[in-house]
Amino acid sequence: MAKKEEGFLTYKGKPLVRSGNTLYYGNMSDSYVVMLSISSSKKVDDLEVADKVTVQLLSTDPDVRPKDRIIKKSEKKSLYEAMDIGTIWLERALAQ
């Protein structure tokens, strides 16, 4: 029987952590992470689905002012679109 590992949910090999309507994607020990903020949602059948999500690529450098940590920002109409662009931004930023 395999031992169950304790830890975070991962997406494409990187941690995905949720706190309320905010999701963080990426390792905090890396240079950048993606923050996804769900601004609004709608009801589809019996399920709440995000329909307005703000995506931000953030620097994790503690010496940078919080306002200057935002590298890129966009607004998407679904969580899928937000995760898609956030993953691309993060992969490109970490490759530099």
Q: Average model confidence (pLDDT) for the chain?
A: 91
Q: How confident is the model at residue 3 (pLDDT cuts 50, 70, 90)?
A: very low
pTM equals 0.86
Q: Identity (one letter) of the amino acid at 82? A: A
Residue recorded with tokens 């019996």: 46
For 42-88, the pLDDT digits (tens) are 999 999 899 999 999 999 999 999 999 999 999 999 999 999 999 99
Structure tokens at 81: 């679109």
Tell me, letter by letter, the H, E, C secondary structure of the chain: CCCCCCCCEEECCEEEEEECCEEEECCCCCCEEEEEEEEEEEEECCEEEEEEEEEEEEECCCCCCHHHHEEEEEEECCHHHHHHHHHHHHHHHHHC
For residue 87, which phi and psi values (nearest 5 degrees)? -65, -45
Q: How confident is the model at residue 6 (pLDDT cuts 50, 70, 90)?
A: low
- Return the pLDDT at 8: 78
Which H helix or E strand runs over 87?
Answer: helix 79-95
